[in-house]
Amino acid sequence: MSQIGWPPRRPFPQDMTTGEEHPLGTWGPSLKCLRWASIVLPIAFLVLLDILRRSFFERHVGTLPGLLVFYVVVIVGVVLFALTIFRIVEILQRRIVDQNRQLAALNDIASVAASSAPLTDILNASLHQILPSMKADAGLVCIIDAEQEEHSVACYTGFSRDMVKGIQRAKLKDDHVAYEVYRTGRPVLNEDVFADPGVHDRARQEGIAAFVSAPLKSEGEVHGILALGNHKKRRYSDDDRKFLEGIGGQLGTAIRKAMLYEQAQSQNREMSALLAVGRVVTSSFDMDELLNASLDTLLQVTSANTAEVWLLVDGEESLTQRCVRGLHKEAFMEQTSLGVGAGLPGRVAQSGSIVLYHDLPSHPEFLRKQVLQAGFQTYSALPLNYRGKLVGVLAVAALSPDALRNQGEVRILEGVGEWLAVAIENSRLYQQVQDAAVIQERERLAREMHDGMAQLLGYVNTQTIAVKKLLSDERLTDALDELRRMEDVVRDLYADVREGILGLRTAALKHGSLLAALEEYSQRYMDLSGITVALAGDGRLPALSPSTEVQLMRILQEALTNVRKHSRATHVTVGIHGTDASLGITITDNGAGFDMARLPARGWPRFGLQTMRERAEAVGGTLAIESTLGRGTTVLVSVPVAGQRA
């Protein structure tokens, strides 16, 4: 190959009868030749001897000298015939030994190639079998990357490390010999490298005088190249050609099998990574949590050492670094804000195209010098788009210049980027919903305080003025009566405040602990009000979203508050029943009840019912009230389970 000083040389000699190229080899004796020689040579000798006898020896054969000369000629002829036959037999024996050695090596290679050993071990073991069988002094095996149109040395022996380093990831089109082997699927040889004036100096440095490069094929496709070199000129026989064809098929199949296995493993890694990231982004709306987990997963399944996410600042043409995971995080945090178009992340945000560099120090647009000082060589960044809108940039970096060369890793980056774009946008939308929910909750609390606490405080303020008037008129008895009524009101107000604080604390329950929160609140409610609360249910609740759990808790608190303040009940039963489709809660008291047909225009119970109904409808549920004077009240709440995000 040209990188090691092997120029493309003569094609194999053509068969003059067919015009087809006759691969590897020169004429050699065979059993057929031996049979014909043993027949033709004696006949030719006898004919020649008879001609000599009739012409030259006819006058002298009767004399003693003539007879001696005649017998000497016969003896010499017989000896030459025997020596010729012996030479042919010797050559055939040597050829049979070579064939047996090659067949044994081919069988060993076939056994190794069919094993489950790693590809590198298979190629190394095979190469050590091939060299003595082919009487070669040096050899190497290259694997072809068809996607990148490159070839790289997988194993070698007899060549220098510098020479092998020059072949790694060499482009096929830059190596004429390798490209011809790959293109034609046939071997290329040069039996006298030093006779070629155009030979590369590296060949002389390696001392290669003759070489052969043979394809390693499977199903007609070249997956690798076997290159063998000799330090002396040599001829390659037809048996060598057949041996190389057999090796090419065995090793080509082994390489193909390894490539298919690696492809399957790569696809499994891709699927595992995408599933892992998918689980993360669908299980949490917390931006930092999902970014950290996603980048950690990305680093586990790719050759990258560090990963980072830049987010587009709303309303601004700038990016801010939101998350960094992996090695040398401090170096990557040297600059945490970039304008769109500045630096590689900013350029990706501006162009909307992925970038991948394996020579990062040679790109001046990368602005963080500490990253370069840390030795990073590979950097890739891609835009995070959600429905055509840029939300950020995902970037990864590696210390090795050979990282991220596998197309499978690039596909993983793109797949994770799609997941992250959706997750980032969902997290932002969730935060907006949470902010809106906070505002709505404040409005509800404001209405509750206005119709409850504010009215009572207004009453206390009015009564305070009345007491002052009674005291100024020295009507002490009336003033004491008013103060007692004010004391009752303030006591109720104090109970309301304590109950409201208890409700707010309990509303901040941890996700998934609705039943535990109900039990805790019921116990504190009993301690505060003296009313018995009994919980009834099967103990199994379907998964609900945090907002649904909070609203159900607030409805229960409002219902129990109404029981304490208005029903004069002594016992409340709270029933919880869940199915795969819905969750239902019933709150039943044994109090005075009220007439549903004669609700007041404002105040209790109309305001309390309205508040509870709004909370139920806010999470897609329904609320119903059943009450009869003297027979208590029942509140029924039902919320759907379908569509809940646990």
Q: Which residues contact 315 (CB under 8 A, 6 or more apart)?
A: none
Look at residue 7 in the predicted model and tell me its pLDDT: 38
pLDDT in tens, 116-169: 778 888 888 888 888 888 888 999 999 888 877 888 898 999 888 888 887 888
- In sequence order, what E strands does 507-632 have? 532-537, 571-578, 582-589, 622-627
Report the amino acid identity of residue 583: L
The half-sphere exposure of 238 on its side-chain side, counting CA atoms within 13 A, is: 10
pLDDT in tens, 351-365: 999 999 999 999 999
Sign, Cα dihedral of 38, 40, 44, 50: positive
Look at residue 97 in the predicted model and tell me its pLDDT: 72
- pLDDT beyond 90 at 588: yes
- In sequence order, what E strands does 137-180 have? 138-145, 150-157, 170-171
Q: What is the average per-residue pLDDT within 463-491?
A: 82
The mean pLDDT value of the chain amounts to: 78
Look at residue 393 in the predicted model and tell me its pLDDT: 93
Higher pLDDT, 112 or 574: 574
Helix 31-55 and helix 64-113, axial crossing angle in degrees, nearest 10 = 170
Residues in the chain: 646
Look at residue 372 in the predicted model and tell me its pLDDT: 94
Higher pLDDT, 437 or 288: 288
Higher pLDDT, 371 or 512: 371
Largest CA distance in the chain: 188
d(CA 429, CA 386): 12
338-342, 403-407, 472-476, 523-527 — most confident range: 338-342
d(CA 1, CA 208): 11
Contacts of the segment 209-213: beta carbons below 8 A, 24+ positions apart: 209/233, 209/234, 210/234, 211/6, 212/24, 212/187, 212/188, 212/236, 212/240, 212/244, 213/1, 213/6, 213/177, 213/178, 213/181, 213/187, 213/188, 213/189
Q: What is the average per-residue pLDDT within 510-529?
A: 76
Q: What is the average per-residue pLDDT within 325-351?
A: 92
Lowest mean pLDDT, pick from 21-35, 38-52, 221-235, 582-596: 21-35
- pLDDT beyond 70 at 5: no
The half-sphere exposure of 488 on its side-chain side, counting CA atoms within 13 A, is: 6
Higher pLDDT, 346 or 91: 346
d(CA 177, CA 173): 9
Alpha-carbon distance values, 119 to 182, 285, 489, 638 (Å): 20, 44, 87, 62
Q: Which residues contact 383 (CB under 8 A, 6 or more apart)?
A: 348, 349, 352, 353, 354, 390, 392, 393, 417
Higher pLDDT, 372 or 243: 372
List, in sequence order, every residue forming a beta bridge with 144; answer none if it has no partner: 151
Look at residue 33 in the predicted model and tell me its pLDDT: 66
